A = this chain, B = another copy of it.
């Protein structure tokens, strides 16, 4: 798979099968950072972070709007759609940057606004 195909496969697994299935695309040494927060590491770090979010937001449905690859890097613009169990559905604008090695992601950074996330969920921050 190309780096872009790996990112697409990861997103498809996350959308359609859930966090557990998506982790096969996450390398053991992956560094994952939601930029408003410190980085986490490996499949366990990705799982704990995503499951923490999804407790509040329900599962994500990622809509990729634009995407470009350069070497091992893949960049995208997305709407990450959430439907909180206790609130209204909302789309969060996100820009993602990924580095891929083989069939797995070794770096994943997401850029978004925590204020927009908090307003969407109805949570105070």
Contacts and interface: CB of A to CB of B under 8 A. Distances in A.
Interface residues of A, number: 25
Contacts of A113: 35-36, 111-115
Interface string A67-95: 11110011111000000000000000111
B77 A66 contact: no
A11 interface: no
A53 to B, nearest CB: 15
A97 B79 CA distance: 14
Query: Secondary structure of the A side of the interface?
Result: strand
A97 B115 contact: no
Of A75, A77, A94, most buried by chain B (CB within 10 Å of CB) is A75
Given A66-B75, A94-B111, A113-B115, 5 more contacts: A66-B97, A75-B97, A77-B109, A93-B109, A95-B111
10 shortest interchain CB distances as A-B pairs: A68-B70, A95-B95, A75-B75, A95-B111, A111-B111, A36-B113, A35-B93, A68-B68, A114-B115, A113-B113
